[in-house]
Structure 1
Amino acid sequence: MTSSLTIRAATIADIDTLVALYADDALGQTRDGRPGTDDAYRAAFDAIDGDPNHILAVGELEGRVVATLLLSFLPGLSRGGSWRAQIEAMRVASDHRGGGLGRAMLDWSIEQARARGCALVQLTSDRQRPDAHRFYERAGFTPSHYGFKLSL
């Protein structure tokens, strides 16, 4: 199935599908897909799309968007002034999980990071997503840090 996966930059026409992917689990249902947020999603898309240090990627199978992630490239002074890649909001449609699509998206992201000269790839995952944690560890990621957030 992954051999027919096409990974491309998202377009404005993908927004509704992406929001549906974000809301495609119990945790996402509480945060995404709420009415009245269309303008906010469009503004966020425009900001991402207009910045060369961000790629909002989608994975397509047979013309259907079934996966997404946001890949950001971050400069830093630590690690000798190296860049790092940050993966956020990675989702695979519930009816396609377990088929290798997530791994293909992750591998694509790692290759993009290498091509940009990044020293590391990092990501965060909500503590309420133990299946995702196992997936990332199988892919070679280590839970090396605590993450902290402050909702505003």
Structure 2
Amino acid sequence: MNIRVAKSEDTQTICDLLKQMGYPQPLALIQEKFEILHSDPRAQILIAEEESKICGFLSLYFIPQIALQGDFAKICYLCVDENMRSKGVGRLLVHEAERLARQRGCDRMELHSGMQRPLAHQFYLREGYVDAPKYFRKALN
């Protein structure tokens, strides 16, 4: 299994993986968002591939803190192909994200995972993450 930085030609597979996770979006939107993130020095999209087949991706964002010594990194999306789950793909992506975060001076990782994803919650708990139940959201429509 190889972990690498995403390229623009990966957007179709990223779009397909997001659809598996319940986020069906037009390819044009994914391509547009990819270009925005790809040009942002605080963003990183990692690809897991095996024998040139993409098995998953992780979108990571580095967030500076004004009042604390260390910054933090947020896992925005972790998507593993449904045929490759429970085979270590997610673990490899998360470990690489954590390595990059440490390298950038982050002292913690954060993520949000919806209540409808109990298997993802089990995965994160096994990886040493703890449940931090307060999360507030407001739609800006």
**TM over 0.5, shorter chain:** yes
The number of aligned residues is 140
Match of 2:100 in 1: 112
The residue aligned with 1:74 is: 63
Partner Cα separation in structure 1 for residue 46 and residue 83 of structure 2: 19
The letter of the residue matching 1:117 is G
Moved beyond 6 Å, runs of 4+: none
User: What is the aligned counterpart of 1:133 among 113, 121, 131?
Assistant: 121
TM-score by length of 1: 0.86
Aligned-pair CA distance for 1:135 = 0.4
Unaligned regions of 5+ residues in structure 1, if any?
Answer: none
The separation in 2 between residues aligned to 1:149 and 1:16, in whole angstroms, is 29
Distance 2:102 2:112 in 1: 19
Correspondence for 1:16: 12
Alignment of 1:40-55 (within 5 A): 40-55=29-44
Q: If the length of structure 2 is used for normalisation, what is the TM-score? A: 0.93
RMSD: 1.3
Q: CA deviation at 1:52?
A: 1.1
What are the superposed Cα offsets for residues 112-139 of structure 1, whole Å, 9 maximum, x if unpaired?
1111110111111011100000100110
Q: Partners of 2:2 and 2:138 in 1: how far apart? A: 36
Identity across matched positions, percent: 29
Matched to 1:44, the amino acid is K
Higher helix share: 1
**Distance in 1, Cα, partners of 2:59 & 2:49:** 15
Q: Over residues 40-98 of structure 1, what are the superposed CA-to-partner deviations in whole Å (9 max), with x where a residue is unaligned?
A: 22221111000111001110111011110111100011323x21111111011010101
Are the equivalent residues in 1 in contact too, given 2:15–2:27 (CA < 8 A)? no
Q: Return the alpha-carbon distance in structure 1 between the equivalents of residues 9 and 111 of structure 2.
A: 26
Tell me how far apart the structure 2 counterparts of residues 38 and 16 of structure 1 sit (CA, whole Å): 6
2:80 is matched with which residue: 75, 92, 105?
A: 92
CA distance in 2, matches of 1:139, 1:17: 26
**Post-superposition offset of 1:144:** 1.8
State the secondary structure of the residue aligned to 1:97. Answer: coil
